[in-house]
């Protein structure tokens, strides 16, 4: 069920990216270098990725929304698996649980997003005008 508009998805993604970047200090795992690096790098990737899609809310329309959503699902899976991939799953819960939860949520909201983007909307408007 694709119920989240692409514009809303972009806004959520920007917020998630920012939250991941500051999460090590907000959630108290900044003393775990690997968990901190993963959160910052993935947060920055999500943030940049949101700003370059063809979503109506993105300033640089470079990557089609459908491609972006696939990247989001893969990013979410990667983030969720990162505590085990990088060996910090044995650390305190506050170091690994945010990665798991946010990763699942990123993949989930990507799967629930309508892939219609700014280009599709222009095509729809042009087609509708041509029908008149």
Tell me how many domains the chain contains: 1
CA 84 from centroid of its chain's CA atoms? 20
Helices (H), the chain: 6-26, 33-51, 65-85, 93-111, 118-131
CA distance linking residue 92 with residue 32, whole number of Å: 9
Quick: pLDDT tens for 77-86. Answer: 999 999 999 9
| Range(s) of the domain holding residue 55 | 6-131
In a domain, 68, yes or no: yes
47 with 14: CB under 8 angstroms?
A: yes
* Tokens 């505590």 found at: 83
In a domain, 1, yes or no: no
Quick: pLDDT tens for 55-64. Answer: 888 999 999 9
Quick: pLDDT tens for 1-58. Answer: 788 999 999 999 999 999 999 999 999 999 999 999 999 999 999 999 999 999 888 9
């Amino acid at each position: 069920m694709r119920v989240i508009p692409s514009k809303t998805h972009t806004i959520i993604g920007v917020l998630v990216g920012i939250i991941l970047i500051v999460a090590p200090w907000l959630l108290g795992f900044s003393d775990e270098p690997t968990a901190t690096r993963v959160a910052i790098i993935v947060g920055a990737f999500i943030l940049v990725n949101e700003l370059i899609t063809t979503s109506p809310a993105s300033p640089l329309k470079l990557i089609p929304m459908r491609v972006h959503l696939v990247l989001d699902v893969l990013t979410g899976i990667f983030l969720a698996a990162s505590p085990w991939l990088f060996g910090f799953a044995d650390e305190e819960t506050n170091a690994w649980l945010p990665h798991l939860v946010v990763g699942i949520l990123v993949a989930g909201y990507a799967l629930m997003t309508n892939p219609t983007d700014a280009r599709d909307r222009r095509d729809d408007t042009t087609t509708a005008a041509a029908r008149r």
